[in-house]
Amino acid sequence: MQEWIWVNGEPGTKVAVQNRGLAYGDGLFETLRISTRGPVLLEYHLDRLQDSARRLLIPIDRSAMMQELNAFPGCRRPGVVKLIYTRGTGGRGYSPANLDHPTRILSSHPEPAWPAWHYEQGVHLHACRTRLGRNPLLAGMKHLNRLEQVLARSEWVDTDAHQEGLVCDTEGNMVEGVMSNLFFVVDEIVQTPLLANCGVAGVLRRWLLEQFQQLRMSVQEVEATPTHLQRASEVFTCNSVYGVWPVASLGELQWAPGSVVRRAQALFQQHWL
């Protein structure tokens, strides 16, 4: 199947070595699932991109970005589109002054296929030793400074044993999965880690929180360590590409998929696939 790459709206495969995304991880990215109905959660991806660009002082024209995505062939057939948005090309030195021409990179990727049991029985989490540093300045953004995730993901190679990893911050609080967000149900309250100090504020996490609230379910963003999961009746992970997976185990702890994860899966399926 054909794949496409655009750099600043034109076909291309490379960027200058002076690009700030390479020099300093000075930029952002979004990974979009494209279903038969089009890009999934597109407005939520653009909300996060726009808000993060503002925090990083990178100029962004949201409607032009939207137009470019709509024109990109990869957004018009099922698969995955990755958008990288950097501060553009600059000289040596950290200063972002006078850098007003961000670089936009779009690439298309095949539709991923996961085993049905990830959705049915659920996945097994590796407990990562890698900790996330805490810095409210960068928390929530899907920025290009991702060494912590690379190191966390390097901890397991046997993808039959573990399909995702649980990462905590340097204080021992649960934050997220390496490539997903985490939910758990305790005393019939749907909980997810607060992301005030680190972690990526996933677009599907946001959408699910809104859906749960509209359904009048009790939801809470909490600060908690992994021992909190001993009290959980169900645990699940989400990301906007694969959707929602029950968590079957973390070390000795085991869970069966419950009514909340099944509802989350049904909501995602109905609205987006």
Q: How far is the CB of 14 from its own copies (least distance, A)?
A: 4
Nearer to its own copies, 93 or 187 (CB): 93
The set of residues, in sequence order, having a beta carbon less than 8 Å from that of 15 and lying 6+ positions away, is: 7, 21, 22, 89, 103, 105
Q: How far is the CB of 3 from its own copies (least distance, A)?
A: 11
Q: State the Cα–Cα distance between residues 171 and 183, nearest whole angstrom.
A: 19
Nearer to its own copies, 149 or 192 (CB): 149
Tally the C-alpha atoms within 13 A of residue 139's C-alpha that lie toward its C-beta.
15
Q: How far is the CB of 128 from its own copies (least distance, A)?
A: 11
Q: How far is the CB of 212 from its own copies (least distance, A)?
A: 28
Q: Is the dihedral of CA 60, 52, 96, 102 positive or negative?
A: negative
- Catalytic residue positions, numbered: 31, 142, 176
DSSP 133: P
Contact positions toward its own copies, by CB under 8 A?
5, 7, 12-26, 29, 31, 56-57, 80, 82, 84, 86-87, 92-97, 105, 107, 109, 130-138, 143-154, 157, 170, 178-179, 198
Nearer to its own copies, 59 or 133 (CB): 133
Nearer to its own copies, 133 or 271 (CB): 133
Name which of 187, 159, 196 is nearest 178 in CA terms. Answer: 159
Q: State the Cα–Cα distance between residues 237 and 246, nearest whole angstrom.
A: 6
